[in-house]
Amino acid sequence: MSSVREAGQAERRRRILEAALDLFARNGFHRTSTCQIARAAGVAEGTIFNHFPTKKDLLVAAAAQVVDDYFREESEALPAGPTLEALRETFHSRLELALRQADHIRFLLGELLLNREMRQAYFDAVVLRLTDHLVRLLEQRIAQGFLRPCNTRVVAGALVGSFLTFLLVALLDEERRLLTQPLSEISDELARLFLYGLQPAPAEG
């Protein structure tokens, strides 16, 4: 009975987050009420506050959900082959997802950067979590012999900052005037840039 109840709570939480993201992106954070969110999610308004004490907490959780969608695979599920291929596949799938969720991500970036308190909460819930995730992935790749030993925290922070900046450019380029190449080509170039910098890549067997 407990597991059924927990599954029901998780499903309600998911519906609330999806409804909140859609309404926030369409109407803005301040013009969206919890009553509207509850109606769109098919729950009572009080149910929202059972999961999220404030509307700000709901916003941060929605931002964290976007990151969870990006990194929902466990480390063990990532490609176990060469790092270039793993990076190429990862960049391609994440950029594809970002373009599908472009309205949500644009809203989150714009809304959160305007408010210092929300910005800090976003940093804790999203940027730090994303960095921690990448640290684990880097450590795994080092242990497998695919990467040289390095300061994984510094490298993960650089990867997060670089990728988020590139993602911002991609989202601003709505008419694809700058990023005109297919996603497969963009992903391949990003993977090579992150792995080799601008140095010649080693011969590929």
Query: Is the model's pTM score more than 0.85?
Result: no
Statement to judge: residues 118 and 59 lie in one domain: yes
Measuring CA to CA, which residue among 34, 26, 71, 32 is closest to residue 52?
A: 34
Q: Are residues 111 and 26 in the same domain?
A: no
Q: What pLDDT score was predicted for residue 149?
A: 95
Domain contains 113: yes
The per-residue pLDDT for range 93-118, each reduced to its tens digit, is 778 877 877 777 777 777 767 777 77
Domain enclosing residue 99, as ranges: 54-196
In a domain, 189, yes or no: yes
Q: What percent of the chain has pLDDT over 90?
A: 21
| 201, part of any domain | no
In a domain, 203, yes or no: no
Residues 6+ positions from 151 with CB-CB distance below 8 Å: none
Q: Is the pLDDT of residue 39 over 60?
A: yes
Rounded CA separation 196/180 (Å): 23
Q: Is 90 in the same domain as 148?
A: yes
- Regarding whether 44 and 89 lie in a shared domain, the answer is no
71 plus 40 within the same structural domain = no
Phi-psi region of 66 (alpha: psi -120 to 50; beta: other; left: phi over 0): alpha
- Residue showing tokens 């497969």: 184
Instruction: Determine contact, residues 109/164, Cβ cutoff 8 Å.
Output: no
Percent of the chain whose predicted confidence (pLDDT) is above 70: 88
Residue that is last in its domain, among 11, 26, 52: 52
pLDDT beyond 60 at 73 = no
Shared-domain flag, residues 68 and 15 = no
CA distances 190 to 73, 126, 137, 183, 193, Å, are: 20, 22, 18, 10, 5
Inform me whether the pLDDT recorded for 77 exceeds 50: no
Same domain, 102 and 188: yes
Q: Is residue 205 part of a domain?
A: no
Residue 10's pLDDT is: 85
Most confident range (mean pLDDT) of 93-102, 113-122, 166-175, 188-197 is 188-197
136 and 101 in one domain?
Answer: yes
Which helix (DSSP H) or strand (DSSP E) does residue 139 occupy? Answer: helix 128-143
Query: What is the CATH classification number for the domain harbouring 28?
Result: 1.10.10.60
Classify residue 202: in a domain, yes or no: no
Of 32, 52, 72, the domain-final residue:
52
Residues 70 and 161 in one domain: yes
User: What pLDDT is attached to residue 40?
Assistant: 95
Q: Is 197 left (phi over 0), alpha (psi -120 to 50) or beta?
A: left
Domain count, the chain: 2
Instruction: Give the pLDDT score at 75.
Output: 42
CATH code for position 157: 1.10.357.10
Burial track 71-89 (b if 16+ CB lie within 10 A, e otherwise): beeeeeeeeeeebbebbbe
Tokens 């063990």 belong to residue: 76
Choose the final residue of a domain: 52, 73, 92: 52
Task: Give the relative orientation of helices 34-41 and 2-27 as an angle to the nearest 10 degrees.
Answer: 120
Cβ atoms within 10 A of the Cβ of 110, count? 12
Q: Residue 146: pLDDT above 50? A: yes
* 122 and 175 co-located in one domain: yes
Indicate if 82 and 175 belong to the same structural domain: yes
* Per-residue pLDDT tens digits for 49-65: 999 999 888 888 887 77
State whether 96 and 1 are in the same domain: no
